[in-house]
Amino acid sequence: MNLSRSFGLRVFVFTLCVAGVALAQKRAIAAKDFDSWKSISGQALSHDGHYLAYGLFPQEGNGVVIVRDLKSGNEWREDAGELPPPPLPDPNSEAPPMPRSIKLVFSNDSKTLIFLAYPTREAVEKGKKDKKSPAHDELVVLDLATGKPARIADVKSFQAPEKADGFVAYQKYGPVPAAGADAAAAPADFEEEDEEDQARGGARPAGGSGGSNEEFGSALVLALA
């Protein structure tokens, strides 16, 4: 009886020692741990109820869009970049700021998923470091029959038809003007205009050159989807 009791006491002490070592190896949660926690956003269900799509993003860093086939259980994952910073609160509005999210749109025939992928964290940091134009969103058109995506760069926004299928309209970012191009051409333009004004007996209007300074908007594209 004493031997059995002694053995049980030893097992109990050994268990306490193992538990103490395990607790000692664990660390307290730090602020950086919250950045890696992921949240779901932009949930969307296809019109036929066959597919579920949602974004999965950490607080900081790149996320993915997941599309799950609810019948077979298969799923596809597409890179979705990093969510943009949250908007600044409006001091004139009592409503809370809109949460960061991603817009996921299924076609009416439930054969295609369309969304804008944000720039990756690496692309944004590289643009800041190189002092170049900022990275732009990418239009992603995912074929749900094959799981193959088509990606179109430098897209500002898109619109899918409400009662039709087979196409999507999207707007691209406009061309970035070359740095210093206007400044380099300005002196020559001013000299030519001054000569013409003097010949007519007039003066060049205040505020700069009167020459053409055309600015073209971005392209609106209608594509098959």
Q: Kindly report the three-state secondary structure assignment for every residue of the chain.
A: CHHHHHHHHHHHHHHHHHHHHHHHHCCCCCHHHHHHCEEEEEEEECCCCCEEEEEEEECCCEEEEEEEECCCCCEEEEEEEECCCCCCCCCCCCCCCCCCCCCEEECCCCCEEEEEECCCHHHHHHHHHHCCCCCCCEEEEEECCCCCEEEEECEEEEECCCCCCCEEEEEECCCCCCCCHHHHHHHHHHHHHHHHHHHHCCCCCCCCCCCCCCCCCCCEEEEEC
CB 135 within 8 A of CB 123: yes
Q: Are 87 and 76 in contact (CB under 8 A)?
A: no
| pTM for this predicted structure | 0.64
**Domain 31-85+97-173+217-224 carries which CATH code?**
2.130.10.120
- Predicted confidence pLDDT, tens digits, the chain (225 residues): 455 555 455 554 455 555 554 545 566 666 565 556 788 999 999 999 999 999 999 988 999 999 999 999 999 999 999 998 877 777 888 877 777 789 999 999 999 999 999 999 998 888 888 877 778 899 999 999 999 999 999 999 999 888 887 888 989 987 755 555 544 444 444 344 444 444 444 444 444 444 444 455 667 777 666
pLDDT at residue 202, rounded to an integer: 43
Distance CA 138, CA 102 (A): 12
Environment class of residue 149 by beta-carbon count within 10 Å: exposed (0-12), middle (13-18) or buried (19+)? middle
Least Cα distance to 101 among 122, 121, 80, 120 occurs for 80
Q: Where are the domains of the chain?
A: 31-85+97-173+217-224
Residue 57 — φ and ψ, nearest 5°?
-130, 140
